[in-house]
Amino acid sequence: MERNRIKGRIYITAMLILTAVYPLFMVIMSGAGLIYNRNSYGATLTAAGVLLTVSGAAMTAGAILSLPKKRITAVLSLILTAAGALLCLCMLHLLIAHADSAGWSDDRTMEPVSAMYRRRILPVLLPASMSAGTAVYRFLSCRD
């Protein structure tokens, strides 16, 4: 019993660390960068930046709401996590398509910027799936 409790705490800790790195930092900072440089990028990418920020906040809130052992917070967590991840992936697709069509590349390495966005934002699926799994587990194991 104690061994399962320790494994659960390690899982939750890993989920929270990955949430802090990917949805909270990478996604929100990418969105903030698009918003900050809105004069250069135009209205479409500014809206994508706002929606990236919203998606990162939704996934972070979903991860936090998966922690209490209550059914209502588990349901809210699952909704926020799924909606945030879906929105994030849609905005990532839009951003990658725009970067590729505009021919954006890194000045030093000549790597396409779309590869950088993909590498930084796509791993958001791991903490989102961990959060969704935790929410489903909490929903099924709680009685209130």
- The per-residue pLDDT for range 9-46, each reduced to its tens digit, is 999 999 999 999 999 999 999 999 999 999 999 999 99
Q: What is the DSSP letter of 25?
A: I
pTM of the model: 0.94
Q: Which amino acid is at 89?
A: L
Give the residue from 90, 57, 82 showing the smallest Cα distance to 135: 82
Structural domain boundaries enclosing 124: 2-141
pLDDT value, residue 142: 83
Rg (CA), the chain: 17
What residues in the chain have per-residue pLDDT under 50?
A: none
C-alpha 67/C-alpha 115 separation (Å) is: 33
How many domains does the chain divide into?
Answer: 1
CA distances from 8 to 30, 130, 131 (A): 31, 12, 13
- Burial level of 59, CB count in 10 A (0-12/13-18/19+)? buried
Would you say 105 and 111 are in contact if contact means Cβ atoms under 8 Å apart? yes
